[in-house]
Amino acid sequence: MNARERFSNIMHFKPVDRCPIRDFGFWDETLLVWKKYGLPESVENGTTAREFFGMDPELTCGGFTDLCPYFEEEVLEDRGDSEIVRDLDGVVVERGKIMSAIPAHLDHLLQDRESWEKHYKPRMQPDDPRRFQSQDPWTKTWIDKWTHPDRDYPLSIYAGSLYGRQRQWFGLVRVSEVIYDDPKLFEEIVETCADIAIALIERMCGELGLRPEAANMWEDMCYRAGPLISPKTFKQVLVPHYRRIVDTLHRYDVDVVSLDCDGKIDKLVPLWLEAGVNCMFPLEIGTWGADPIEYRKEYGRDLLIMGGFNKRILAGRKRDITAEVERLAPLVEEGGFIPFCDHLVPPDVPLGNYIHYLNEAKRVWGKGLDNLKPTGEPDWENAEFKEADGYIWDPEKLSLTVE
């Protein structure tokens, strides 16, 4: 069974030889830290990390759903460890030069209908040819790979964002005000984002003939206490446009529709399911204690899950890592669930712990089969620093500096 067949079967509760082995990714700083502890310098987020750690292949395809073109990024002020930047979204932020913290929003170009019409709407045209660069030789090469009849890896198509991008452009406070001050503007932007997603799906699946196994969306519209938007507004405004996107995907036999949302999503899950969004990815555990096993008890096979392994466990004891891998095993066996870390792996996770996690995942979820790729072996002996007591982030011994 190849990776494509394995993904499709497990997402449809059909028999598989083993669970796919994958992850959500790593903070850039995590890999920088790990290289001090023996990770090869060649390993970066993406393909090289997947190959080194022995994970199964996967790819995401699609056109360009975002601002087209982006704004030009401009550094407005250097503050030493941080800088003030007008970013690609036209937002003025203060961002650190070292750690991957969320940049602090300072000012927003998008404030109201006038600024939407002047600065953003012209960049959000569904028929902008720059969204469909299929004639570009580089893009054509990828399309040829994505449509190859013998493709042996799962392919996902990116289907955009209806709320998350607005939150970024307006800022959380202003987008919350706009929902009530100018609901027609809010819905117009939602509709525009949906129109772009649908245009890209029609282009990639209809005209170019792609047949992905899944679609991915991104929102980040919840925090530790619940949604950033009321369920009532969500149901009235967002659900119909999610439904339009999902119906388009269904016409091309794409019936696994996943959505990436941080935070406590409990109040929105039933509404996403109503709209046809049937997979939560990567199901963050968080301080609120989400649990993929409890979600399965509540929603049964209607809800597919990817992720759901608490990344914080990885910074602790190896026996706790093993225990969590084994606790999730029955849900893996049931199907409709591909476990991996519930977000990017942070730099306080020891490299040795992560290697242990992967090997345990391959032993339990992968059933130790010989079609698993081996986990790479770091150069422990020649590492600049040594792991001790299960922790690697020691500011007395290691600091990341910008030269």
Mean pLDDT score across all residues of the chain:
93
Which of 250, 281, 312 is the C-terminal boundary of a domain? 281
User: Percent of the chain beyond pLDDT 70?
Assistant: 95
pLDDT number for residue 8: 98
Same structural domain, 214 and 254: yes
Closest-CA residue to 299 (of 290, 288, 311, 312): 290
**Pairing relationship of beta strands 59-61 and 74-78 according to DSSP bridges:** unpaired
The answer to whether the predicted template modeling score (pTM) of the entire model surpasses 0.85 is: yes
Please tell me the distance from the alpha carbon of residue 177 to that of residue 180, in angstroms, as a whole number.
6
Same domain? 214 vs 256: yes
Please check whether residue 93 lies inside any domain of the structure: yes
258 touches 179 (CB < 8 A): no
CA distances to 41, 43, 56, 401 from 352, rounded to whole Å, are 17, 16, 20, 24
Do 127 and 152 share a structural domain? yes
270-313 residue pLDDT tens: 999 999 999 999 999 999 999 999 999 999 999 999 999 999 99
User: What's residue 105's pLDDT?
Assistant: 95
Task: Tell whether 345 is covered by a domain.
Answer: no
Q: Which pLDDT score is estimated for 400?
A: 39
Is residue 377 predicted with pLDDT exceeding 80? Answer: yes
Indicate if 201 and 256 belong to the same structural domain: yes
* 120 and 179 within one domain: yes
Asked if the structure places residue 255 within a domain, the reply is: yes
pLDDT recorded at residue 1 = 95
- Of the pLDDT bands very low, low, confident and very high (cuts 50, 70, 90), residue 398 is very low
pLDDT at site 100:
58
The residue-averaged pLDDT of 104-126 equals 97
Average pLDDT for 46-61 = 95
Consecutive H or E run containing 10:
helix 3-11
**Is residue 61 a part of any domain in this protein?**
yes
- Cα angle 12, 18, 22; round to 5: 85
Q: What is the pLDDT of residues 240-259, one digit of tens each?
A: 999 999 999 999 999 999 99
What lies within 8 Å, CB to CB, of 291 at 6+ separation is 285, 308
**Looking at residue 135, what is its pLDDT?**
62
User: Which pLDDT score is estimated for 396?
Assistant: 46
Q: For residue 335, is it left (φ>0), alpha (ψ between -120 and 50) or beta?
A: left
* Residue range of the domain that includes 235: 3-18+56-67+112-281
pLDDT value, residue 133: 72
Q: Looking at the structure, tell me whether residues 267 and 145 fall in a common domain.
A: yes
Nearest to 12, CA basis, from 296, 334, 400, 229: 334
Give 2's contacts (C-beta < 8 A, 6+ positions apart).
152, 153
| Residue 36 located in a structural domain | no
Residue 219: CATH number of its domain: 3.20.20.210
Q: What is the pLDDT of residues 11-25, one digit of tens each?
A: 999 999 999 999 999
pLDDT computed for residue 54 by the predictor:
97
CA distance 177 to 325: 43
Work out how many domains the chain is built from and give that number: 2
197 shares a domain with 230: yes
Note the pLDDT tens digit of each residue in 177-214.
999 999 999 999 999 999 999 999 999 999 999 999 99
